[in-house]
Structure 1
Amino acid sequence: MTDTKLKILFVASEVEGFAKTGGLADVAKALPLALHEHGHDVRVMMPLYRTVKGADTAEFLCNQTMRPQSGLPEIPYSIKQLKMGGVPVYGIDSPHYFDRAGLYGEDDHAYNDNGERFAFFSLAILQSCETLDFIPDIIHCNDWHTSLVPFLLKTRYRDSGRFSHTKTILTCHNAAYQGIFEKSQLKLIPEVNSCMDHQVLENYSYINYLKAGVLYADKINAVSPNYASELLTPLGSHGMSHCFVNRIRDFEGIINGCDYNDWNPEVDPHLPQNYSSHDLSGKAVCKAKLQQEVGLAQSDKAIFGMVCRLTEQKGFNILLPALEDLLLHDIQLIIVGTGDPAITGHLRSLEQHHPDKFKFVNTYSDYLSHLVEAGADFFLMPSLFEPCGLNQLYSLAYGTLPIVRGVGGLKDTVNDYDQDNDNGNGFMFYEPEPVDLINLLRRVLLLYIERPDEIIRLKTQAMQSHFYWSESVFQYERLYAKALERYAL
């Protein structure tokens, strides 16, 4: 690692505290703050959506005009500044592209012009750097939404003296979402139409934004070592293994940290009583409050909790059949989330058949997310794939034992009790089959009923498992140094 303090621009489509749909937002807050604490000059740039918290009071910096090379009308926008600790957050304010009810779509339908929206954002990132006179050493891009930035630097800005020393990092938070759009949506970037690289194109009429980023970024990382390994295989790569294999020398996995400022049961303001690994008594109070909040009878029955987007990725094709059997037992189940209407309908039906055991809360609620993590005994994550996962980290911090499938970052962070009783902090199954999940759930339930002291030991041990951003940030500094060719063995 180099001791040189860097100028870093972190670009993302969402940032916790301003706009969020998933784990990307958590990283886009926590990692820049951790880098700032290490002394780097870090700035964040994101779209200024209508829904951004604080948008109305953001500090106006300047007006901008984008002049497309293709003869299209000029596009006015402005740059506004918000604050995140000591890190400036620049919001790209374009009403045409971002003054909408959702970030990426509405009513589970993506906006038809998302390709154009984030092509504009990528161009605005580089233009704004010049206007603000902030030319970074590193532009840290995240997922497909910003993957055209490395492409632009290696094409349109290739001969730009200002960006001659700027290097790009691309973090893949979830390579299942690749940003595939017709070339017609990229009129703002005519260089794309002359691109004939099969690694970027899909059937030559579409461009794959993520592939462009993987091809053109100076360094690439996935959000856990195991997910990085999976992306090198045809089965786990979402059709992109050849792209990652071709960049293997520039590709690695770095596990996400957990933001313990937001997820700490000792000080969490959402909880009716705080607690720690040295005194778990407050967890019982949280359990009673959770039961009251969702309308379940207060008891010592095992509570299985789940908070997530209701998508296929989260393993509902495995989970739903298993729940039919799990709800035959004397347990309580709470699922909080929004998403796929088909999954929502199935959960509603299950709730109607088991109203005294199962509550489904069809919403996103920060308060309920914290209360489930604190009040449940076990947390379900039977994901088909999980690049890193954050809820298992929150669950560990709150002494709520995670029940996970052995994929991606789940495998990197959860120690399976069945394989290592002494060091276990959760439970794991591997095959994506309902029978494997229900067998594990029954073993867990039996342990809960017959060995309560062992469950307490496991909860205490889980709370002593820590994944600090201060540790992950060193690995990102090493990655930046490699990109800048300042890394020495």
Structure 2
Amino acid sequence: MKILFTTSEAVPFATTGGLGDVCGSLPFALADLGHDVRVILPAYRCVWYVGREIRPLNVEFIVAVGSKTVSGRLLEHRSESVTFYFVQQDYYYDRDALYSVHGQDYADNCERFVFFSRATLEAIRLLDFYPDIIHAHDWQTGLVPAYLKIEYASSPLYRSMGSVFTIHNMAYQGRFWHWDMLLTGLDWKYFNWQQMEAYGQLNLLKTGIVFADAVSTVSPRYAQEIQTPEFGAGLEGVIQSRRDVLWGILNGIDYTVWNPTTDPHLPAPYDEHTVWQQKPFCKAALQSEVGLPQRPHVPLIAMIGRLTHQKGFDLVAKILPEWLEQMETQWVILGTGETQLETTFRELANRYPDKLAVIFEFNLPLAHRIQGGADMFLMPSRFEPCGLAQLQALKYGTVPVVRAIGGLADTITDCRPETLANGTANGFSFTEESPQALSETLRRACEAYRQPEIWRQLVLTGMRQDWSWARSAPRYVEMYEATLRRIRGG
């Protein structure tokens, strides 16, 4: 099968989070299954900093963006099994960041991704690569299924292609004022409540959902949640209308990158057989690195991510003063986010320097060392389409403590007498969105930490589970094949 990923992010070239991880890893897992997979993304300024060979293809094109025409050219990077194409248009993409600067979205984001969506479909013809499936990701490529259905439907070379649209996060919808409909070049008749309009605005996420042949999201639980008002972000009715072609497929992680046995960032690599000898060295080294005293028998609780309301950091801020004052624990927090939360955590770290370390930056090597050195990993998210950090924590023998929503509910089995007995327990979870529920669950985790037999079972269960892309990729193939059977017949 020939598969083209069209995405605004893919590691290692450009990423702001899970979207980039998926689009940089899943193609390789699909290629390992014997498929011809290519990826196309914008040639942002940052792609040149990665150190990979990117070469021009001597392929130039012109597409319409509203009332004007815009030129671009294609670049290429070839790995062993997956080819990456880059759409170069420096006015749109040669910028400091992908979507925003100083907290403000670029004013021309709609125009930038109209151009990219059109470039994707033109690249197919210019590269003479006609995929069976075009797999579009998030609002930035929501127009690709629409253009395929509307403008390319009469072309015999495009007519048999299937389109899949993956929602990585319903909260980010690509909402623009209604006059930006002119930029798309599509007839105003499509600007209606059933297709491209939502609450008076042009909505590119909705556009992708409506026009794609199949829709997927990044965990089974999230596929159910987004059909409800609580998690549907105003588009729950649209999702319900496509539920017959909606797939929930859990994300995976790349074990060539996230593996404590081979991780170059760890001071003492380990596996399930050596974790009890080596992980304590990682813990001591981490404590020293972040300025905490080396206390081997005190549970070290870690958080990594955006310091936001969505990630539940405000719940943590409410319980942390009591925990730092009364409980024998240590905490390490890595990430950036809302100013008020950063201020709160900074003040607490200054007041309790032996118990709390905060690092307000994006530091991937340190994230690896935190996963390797911490005892528990905390994710009290209000919503979490899939979550990758809890999967990384499992592999590193760092026991997750999570709120049971989205992909967190799909991957973390709460430690209870019955789940310990049947060998499925791999962490701790709670459902109520409250500081009290969070604090009580952490207390349960700390009690288990003081019981070596229980803790050993939790650690080993998590480390032995397979959350790799090799586990998830066959489900994507199943979705592609089902989609093609439906649209082609047979």
Report the TM-score, using the length of structure 2 for normalisation: 0.95
Please say if residues 119 and 186 of structure 1, whose CA atoms lie closer than 8 Å, have aligned partners that are also in contact.
no
Please say if residues 145 and 208 of structure 2, whose CA atoms lie closer than 8 Å, have aligned partners that are also in contact.
yes
Aligned length: 481
Alignment-derived partner of residue 169 in structure 1: 164
Q: Give runs of aligned pairs for residues 21-420 of structure 1, distance below 5 A.
A: 21-52=16-47, 53-54=49-50, 57-68=53-64, 70-72=66-68, 74-191=69-186, 193-199=188-194, 200-204=196-200, 206-280=201-275, 281-300=277-296, 301-328=298-325, 329-418=327-416, 420=419
C-alpha distance in 2 between matches for 1:47 and 1:488: 34
C-alpha distance in 2 between matches for 1:346 and 1:31: 38
- Residues 56 and 262 from structure 1, CA distance in 2 versus in 1: closer, same or farther, beyond 3 angstroms? closer
What SS class does the counterpart of residue 312 from structure 1 fall into? coil
C-alpha distance in 2 between matches for 1:442 and 1:339: 27
Please say if residues 326 and 441 of structure 1, whose CA atoms lie closer than 8 Å, have aligned partners that are also in contact.
no
Report deviation, 1:197.
2.0
Please say if residues 71 and 89 of structure 2, whose CA atoms lie closer than 8 Å, have aligned partners that are also in contact.
yes
C-alpha distance in 1 between matches for 2:181 and 2:264: 45
Please say if residues 48 and 55 of structure 1, whose CA atoms lie closer than 8 Å, have aligned partners that are also in contact.
no
Alignment-derived partner of residue 437 in structure 1: 438
Alignment-derived partner of residue 12 in structure 1: 7
Question: Structure 1: which amino acid aligns with 2:214?
Answer: K
Q: Which moved more, 1:88-97 or 1:45-54?
A: 45-54
Question: Structure 2: which amino acid aligns with 1:312?
Answer: H
Please say if residues 33 and 85 of structure 1, whose CA atoms lie closer than 8 Å, have aligned partners that are also in contact.
no
1:21-64 Cα offsets, whole Å, 9 max, x none, are 10111111211001111111110001110011447841100242
What SS class does the counterpart of residue 485 from structure 2 fall into? coil
Gaps of 5+ in 1: 1-5
Question: Structure 2: which amino acid aligns with 1:59?
Answer: R
1:285-323 Cα offsets, whole Å, 9 max, x none, are 110111111111111211000111222211123221022
C-alpha distance in 2 between matches for 1:28 and 1:192: 31
What SS class does the counterpart of residue 79 from structure 1 fall into? strand
What SS class does the counterpart of residue 154 from structure 2 fall into? coil
Question: Structure 1: which amino acid aligns with 2:484?
Answer: L
C-alpha distance in 1 between matches for 2:341 and 2:304: 14
C-alpha distance in 1 between matches for 2:89 and 2:181: 17
Report deviation, 1:344.
1.7
Report deviation, 1:16.
1.2
Please say if residues 226 and 409 of structure 1, whose CA atoms lie closer than 8 Å, have aligned partners that are also in contact.
yes
C-alpha distance in 1 between matches for 2:74 and 2:181: 22
C-alpha distance in 1 between matches for 2:199 and 2:9: 30
Question: Structure 1: which amino acid aligns with 2:448?
Answer: L
Please say if residues 63 and 119 of structure 2, whose CA atoms lie closer than 8 Å, have aligned partners that are also in contact.
no
Report deviation, 1:69.
6.8
C-alpha distance in 2 between matches for 1:54 and 1:303: 33
C-alpha distance in 2 between matches for 1:285 and 1:279: 11
C-alpha distance in 1 between matches for 2:199 and 2:291: 52
- Residues 182 and 29 from structure 1, CA distance in 2 versus in 1: closer, same or farther, beyond 3 angstroms? same
Please say if residues 12 and 50 of structure 2, whose CA atoms lie closer than 8 Å, have aligned partners that are also in contact.
no
Alignment-derived partner of residue 3 in structure 1: none
- Residues 45 and 69 from structure 1, CA distance in 2 versus in 1: closer, same or farther, beyond 3 angstroms? closer
Please say if residues 63 and 118 of structure 2, whose CA atoms lie closer than 8 Å, have aligned partners that are also in contact.
no
Please say if residues 325 and 438 of structure 1, whose CA atoms lie closer than 8 Å, have aligned partners that are also in contact.
no
RMSD in angstroms over aligned alpha carbons? 1.8
Q: Which moved more, 1:435-444 or 1:344-353?
A: 344-353
Alignment partner of 1:473 is 2:468: no
**Which structure carries more helix by proportion?**
2
Identical positions, percent: 39
C-alpha distance in 2 between matches for 1:327 and 1:69: 56
C-alpha distance in 2 between matches for 1:411 and 1:271: 29
C-alpha distance in 1 between matches for 2:404 and 2:67: 52
C-alpha distance in 1 between matches for 2:316 and 2:70: 47
What SS class does the counterpart of residue 421 from structure 1 fall into? helix
Question: Structure 1: which amino acid aligns with 2:357?
Answer: K
- Residues 44 and 162 from structure 1, CA distance in 2 versus in 1: closer, same or farther, beyond 3 angstroms? same
Question: Structure 2: which amino acid aligns with 1:380?
Answer: L
